[in-house]
Structure 1
Amino acid sequence: MRFLRQVLESFRFAWQALRSNLLRTTLSLLGVTVGIFAIIAVFTLVDSLERNIKDSLSFIGDKVVYVQKWPWSFEGEYQWWKYFQRPEPSFKEYKFLADKLENAQAIVAMDFKGRITVKHNNNSMMSLIQGTTFEYNKISEVAVASGRYFTQQEIDVARNVAIIGADVAENLFPAEEPVGKSFKINGMNFTIIGVQEKKGESLVNFGGNPDIKCLIPYGAFSKMFHSINPSIDIAIKGYDDDEGLLELESEIKGLLRTRRGVRPTQDDNFAINRPEAAAQAISGIFAVLTVAGWVIGGFSILIGGFGIANIMFVSVKERTNIIGIQKSLGAKNYFILFQFLFEAVLLSLVGGLAGIALVYLLSFMQLGSLELHLTAGNIILGLGVSSVIGILSGIIPAFSAARLDPVIAIRAK
């Protein structure tokens, strides 16, 4: 109990010392404030970017691969001249894979057409039109707010029905319920069977922003937009127990190489792309940003730590006489040590809190589609780094104060 009272008394002395020298205290914590701000700001930015990308990926599903002509290459030389000669994936190949694949939960053929005018009465807008087959809702998230998803029959007979995005509904039907109504895509009538939930702006939209998209059966899309040799994307979802989708990828390669007559000595003439590969490539950039934040913030914190240590040595010098009186009255060494150590830690924590407060204010800024979120983990990290800097900066001055001889200290001027 006595020890606890002395610790609290040490904390009170430290607080009084900081209050009595406000200007010096403010100047000495600036380095820590800037350093913590730099580190936590970078961490907050990286966390927010990763969250945004994960939200985007949720709309294209998990454990999905895409069979396409062009690879999504994120390292090395992009051999476009080699990929250019490859054949485009076809609807017949989609049917072939759908019949033969054993390691797939779902398989979808789809194609896109951007900047297509959609119209209802006098209202119109540019939309992204996507034609797809029936299992698209197993591959990608289709969050229908009102209405329903396609039926197998609607897909099979290529009926002119559509599931529209929230922005399309707001622009074409500003004061009425769109479901059941008719609208025009590229001059052709389509009946709305569903409206997707509003997703909002996103930093990355794989497959296009659902808010401005119109989903229609692939057959209806093909009749409107495809030429004699149409090309498509084939999306395939694997099973959860297929670690890394290795079995699925191996099966796809074997089947497609056989169908296309690729010899054993020849390279694949198709690409199997994974959306998470794009996320991993972007994560590599995030890692560089994180290191940069630590370096920039580290220099600032180092300068702040030296500033705090210097202030603590000055404080010990100024209060040498008081230390001597305290020790002559029975104060233990740890009481003196805690007094100065608490002062250094408290000073550093105030600087850290100021840096975190600046990041919190930064999170209210509008950065386009990116929303910044200051997480509890980053707050704890900032306070933890501040505490460590305070301990390291104050430990030597505190030890020197605790080891003063009371007789010599009382006589100091």
Structure 2
Amino acid sequence: MILVYKFFKESFLFAINALRTNVLRTILTLSGVTIGIFSIISVFTLIDFLEKQVRDSIESLGDNVVYIQKWPWTPPEGESEYPWWRYMNRQVPSINDYEQIKRRSQIAEAVSYVMSSQKMLQYEDNSYDNVAVMGVSDDFDAIWSFEIGRGRYFSPYETNGGMASAIIGAEIAAELFQGADPIGKRVKMMGRKLLVIGVIQRQGSDIFGNTLDKNIIIPVKFASTLFNLRSESVNPMILVKAKEGYTSDDMVDELTGVMRAIRRIKPSADNDFALNRISLVQKNFDSLFDFIDLAGWFIGGFSILVGGFGIANIMFVSVKERTRIIGIQKALGAKRRFVLLQFLIESTVLSLLGGLAGLLLVFGIAISISLITGSEMALTLLNVLKGIGISTFIGVVSGYIPAWKASRMDPVEAINAL
């Protein structure tokens, strides 16, 4: 055990000595490995960060929620073009569709009708333009993820009775009320006054740009007195959340039959509605992440290749400078594998130093982005192990030929070498 320790220690010291002998040459050489590891691991870290943002956004929208709408989000399966002309004459989801789904669905945990528009909101002398107005039925709070910071959510009486009540986003509350408590105050929209009963806790925007900070939520029955719910301009849709133990695929299968029955669609006819799911969007993101991943390997691969050649060059120089030492070692009984491992360890240590420098760069940038954006971007243990593994592999591959050459030297010729 002591001999093994001394062996690794000696090889490590030789590697450090190679750094000290020609600092500039070594730094320039190892910069290839540093840049390569930085490129690859930074891409992995970015992908992890984006995937976390996507997952968090999907969780907030509900990964087991089906959106019944007029227009599908993606082209039909097996087609690359979006055939918009097929969907033009479809009818939008209606209140009747919503009520029928609530009555007929066996696996739906929550069903909510939602419409949206944009209007100006006023309170005394303050106004807020382009407020996102959402008219919702009951169960909306069971499907859409948000928290009430102040006040409360709609009561069943307010929702079913179509009362002129409203819940506003945190940014609207800040702009209109300038620090005053908005609960119990009345805001004005389209000439009608609404009682503010709640303020949504500030969310910020997710990766899809969704946020309730700039929204006002009102009961859909009250919204029907302000908007034409049969118009496509208010983007009506029905949100259906599956019960525990059922997937969105199960929900789609059931809703397909329910909606076809509600609209009395003939067996041979196509659906006149779209059942959208967040997983459809996630597939597109998965393809994007795969492309970014490949690009990171491609860009970083060239830098690592250059760094590998640089390390091989350093090792050839190191073998030449220590030819007599190698000859003495072999004359004293050192075996070929001893000499081979000695130089392989040296090349691996050099490569690891370059790789660790690249990892430190990624770590520093990740911390900086986290501080600037407020979103957590972390260099994971898996990515650290990937960086160390790639560096080790490059060190072994780059140093093998010089090490093999050193192990095959004739001791007499090596001792007599100039």
Q: TM-score, normalised by structure 2?
A: 0.91
The amino acid across from 1:339 in the alignment is Q
| 1:6-405 superposed matches below 5 A | 6-74=7-75, 76-114=80-118, 116-126=119-129, 127-205=131-209, 208-226=210-228, 232-243=236-247, 245-329=248-332, 331-363=334-366, 364-365=368-369, 372-405=377-410
- Give the Cα separation in 2 of the matches to 1:398 and 1:227: 77
Shift of residue 85, structure 1, vs aligned partner: 1.2
What do residues 184-238 of structure 1 show as CA deviations (whole Å, max 9, x unaligned)? Answer: 2334222222222222233313xx3211111211112221222665762001011
**Identity between Structure 1 and Structure 2 (%):** 42
Farther-moved stretch of structure 1 (272-281 vs 70-79):
70-79
The aligned length equals 409
- Give the Cα separation in 1 of the matches to 2:107 and 2:272: 21
CA-based RMSD: 2.3
- Give the Cα separation in 2 of the matches to 1:348 and 1:172: 59
- Give the Cα separation in 1 of the matches to 2:4 and 2:34: 32
- Give the Cα separation in 2 of the matches to 1:388 and 1:287: 23
SS at match of 1:225: coil
What do residues 268-289 of structure 1 show as CA deviations (whole Å, max 9, x unaligned)? Answer: 1111100121121122111111
SS at match of 2:197: strand
- Give the Cα separation in 2 of the matches to 1:377 and 1:186: 55
What do residues 89-126 of structure 1 show as CA deviations (whole Å, max 9, x unaligned)? Answer: 11111111111111111101001113x22222333223
Farther-moved stretch of structure 1 (3-12 vs 311-320):
3-12
Shift of residue 331, structure 1, vs aligned partner: 4.7
Farther-moved stretch of structure 1 (368-377 vs 384-393):
368-377
- Give the Cα separation in 2 of the matches to 1:7 and 1:228: 78
SS at match of 2:226: helix
- Give the Cα separation in 2 of the matches to 1:321 and 1:187: 96
What do residues 36-80 of structure 1 show as CA deviations (whole Å, max 9, x unaligned)? Answer: 122122222222222222222222123000111101115522111
The amino acid across from 2:221 in the alignment is G
- Give the Cα separation in 1 of the matches to 2:25 and 2:139: 67
Q: In structure 2, what is the equivalent of residue 4 of structure 1?
A: 5
SS at match of 1:211: coil
Cα distance change, pair 18–107 in 1 and its aligned pair in 2 (3 A): same
- Give the Cα separation in 2 of the matches to 1:348 and 1:153: 70
Indicate if the aligned counterparts of 1:7 and 1:338 stay in contact, CA closer than 8 A. Answer: no
- Give the Cα separation in 1 of the matches to 2:230 and 2:310: 74
Farther-moved stretch of structure 1 (257-266 vs 329-338):
329-338
Indicate if the aligned counterparts of 1:306 and 1:393 stay in contact, CA closer than 8 A. Answer: yes
Cα distance change, pair 3–352 in 1 and its aligned pair in 2 (3 A): closer
What do residues 360-385 of structure 1 show as CA deviations (whole Å, max 9, x unaligned)? Answer: 34332599898744333222211211
- Give the Cα separation in 2 of the matches to 1:93 and 1:279: 27
What do residues 317-342 of structure 1 show as CA deviations (whole Å, max 9, x unaligned)? Answer: 11111222344455554443333222
Indicate if the aligned counterparts of 2:105 and 2:254 stay in contact, CA closer than 8 A. Answer: yes
The amino acid across from 2:289 in the alignment is F
The amino acid across from 2:312 in the alignment is A
- Give the Cα separation in 2 of the matches to 1:284 and 1:186: 44
- Give the Cα separation in 2 of the matches to 1:380 and 1:86: 53
The amino acid across from 2:276 in the alignment is N
Farther-moved stretch of structure 1 (379-388 vs 219-228):
219-228
- Give the Cα separation in 1 of the matches to 2:97 and 2:229: 17
Farther-moved stretch of structure 1 (396-405 vs 102-111):
396-405
- Give the Cα separation in 1 of the matches to 2:52 and 2:21: 45
- Give the Cα separation in 2 of the matches to 1:177 and 1:326: 84
- Give the Cα separation in 1 of the matches to 2:396 and 2:61: 48
Farther-moved stretch of structure 1 (226-235 vs 164-173):
226-235
Q: TM-score, normalised by structure 1?
A: 0.92
Unaligned runs of 5+ in 1: none
- Give the Cα separation in 2 of the matches to 1:272 and 1:45: 31
Indicate if the aligned counterparts of 1:199 and 1:210 stay in contact, CA closer than 8 A. Answer: yes
Indicate if the aligned counterparts of 1:202 and 1:370 stay in contact, CA closer than 8 A. Answer: no
The amino acid across from 1:180 in the alignment is G
Cα distance change, pair 345–123 in 1 and its aligned pair in 2 (3 A): farther
